[in-house]
A and B are shown apart, each in its own frame.
Chain A
Amino acid sequence: MDEHQLRLDGNAAAGLLQEIFVPELTAARGACAGCGAVGPLGKQHLYMAPRSPGAVLRCAACEGVLMVIVHAGGRFRLGIQGLVWLEMRDTGAPG
């Protein structure tokens, strides 16, 4: 079994991200610090088995690490060095 079977889309990290951020991030666009590719986070490559030390979101174009999310020991730690920027729609006042 290799990444061609284990790999998920960023969409699968939506629940984890929504524990940290209120706006929905998988529809947000980001720019890869490695290769400059731009795309929605939900479309990138996610490595996050049910049993995993953490979630690793990688650029679909270059496999560079965009974001690492570790939810452990009562804390969330987020590594975002792989994103130059993140952009999301302003959907107005929350309902």
Chain B
Amino acid sequence: MGFVSRGFRGRPRDVQQDSRVPPGQYLVRDFPVLSAGPTPHTPLAEWSFTIDGEVDEEKRWTWNELRALPSEMVTKDIHCVTKWSKLDTTWEGVSIDTLLEGVETAAEYVMAFCDGGYTTNLPLDDVIGGKAWIAFAYDGQPLESQHGGPARLLVPHLYFWKSAKWVRGLRLMNDDSPGFWETYGYHMYGDPWQEQRYSGD
């Protein structure tokens, strides 16, 4: 055992007693704000969500058009690569399945792109079949800008850096390509249950 600071306990954390908490994670009750850059503030009148790349035809929705689509309320556990997990978070959003209806593609991967330039890559399979949403509300309230509002990608079965804040679209790709954190060493896939935090894990 190395150095121990007498009497130091740290933030309240229940280390992995729960089968709902992946390895190496601890539970938190707050919702930490992590930031890689300034918070974008795109006016809703200028906001749009686009599906482009390896598709026959691009699709685009304005904010009002997105909000007119059928949406779902979901309750999910979320897991951040910086080791905190939060259970039973509630969101409202439009399923990616809804957005991809009628989209013809042979692509196997997507790159989410966002205001401020953030990107993250995912297999297409991981954003369809009821696994991902464009979320515009959290905990019954419109999603705050510090947490990615007006809308963020929500892909709770992967580490939360894949749930890109301030999302503006998905670019379909034939081959996998690293997004922002993936370029700097984070795992291309990011399964919390296999502790795929960094490339090579």
* A adjacent to B, CB under 8 Å: yes
Q: Once the chains bind, are B38 and A63 in contact (CB under 8 Å)? A: yes
A60 CB to nearest B CB, Å = 11
CA distance A7 to B181 in the complex (A): 19
- Do A3 and B35 have beta carbons less than 8 Å apart? yes
The distance in angstroms between the C-alpha atoms of A82 and B33, with both chains bound, is: 25
B contacts with A, residue count (CB < 8 A): 27
Task: Report if B127 contacts A (CB, 8 A).
Answer: no
Q: Which of B48-56, B78-86, B129-137, B167-175 contacts A (4 or more CB under 8 A)?
A: B78-86
B33 touches A79 (CB 8 A): no
B200 within 8 A of A: yes
Q: Would you list which residues of chain A between 1 and 45 have a CB under 8 Å from chain B?
A: 1-3, 6-7, 45
Is the Cβ of B35 less than 8 Å from the Cβ of A49? Answer: yes
- Nearest chain A residue, comparing its CB with the CB of B161: A53
Main secondary structure on B side of the interface with A? loop
Chain A nearest Cβ from B42, distance in angstroms: 14
In contact, A56 and B38 (Cβ under 8 angstroms): no
A residues in contact with B145, CB < 8 Å? 2
B residues in contact (CB < 8 Å) with A: 32-39, 80-84, 117, 145-146, 161, 181, 183-186, 197-201
Question: Are B34 and A52 closer than 8 Å at their CB atoms?
Answer: yes
Which chain A residue shows the least CB distance to B41?
A2
Closest to A72 in B: B198
The CA of A63 and the CA of B116, in the complex, are separated in Å by: 9
State A58–B117 Cα separation when bound (angstroms). 12
Contact B33 A53 (CB under 8 A): no
**Residue pair B146, A53 in contact (C-beta under 8 Å):** no
A15 to B146, CA, bound (A): 27
CB-CB < 8 A to A86: which residues of B?
Answer: none
Q: Is the CB of A2 within 8 A of B185?
A: no
Q: How long is the Cα–Cα vector from A63 to B84 in the complex, in angstroms?
A: 28
- C-alpha spacing A4/B20, complex, angstroms: 35
Supposing A53-B81, A53-B82 touch, asked if A79 and B38 sit within 8 A by C-beta, the answer is: no
CB <8 Å contact, A73 and B198: yes
Besides A2-B146, A53-B181, 16 new A-B residue pairs in contact (Cβ under 8 A), listed by A number: A7-B38, A47-B35, A49-B34, A51-B34, A52-B82, A53-B82, A54-B36, A54-B184, A56-B36, A58-B38, A70-B185, A73-B197, A73-B199, A73-B201, A79-B183, A79-B184
Contact present for A1 and B84 (CB under 8 Å): no
Is the CB–CB distance between B184 and A70 below 8 Å? yes
Are B38 and A77 in touch, CB under 8 angstroms? no
Q: How far is the CB of A27 from chain B (nearest CB, A)?
A: 24
> Which of B37, B82, B200, B201 is within 8 Å of A3, CB to CB?
B37
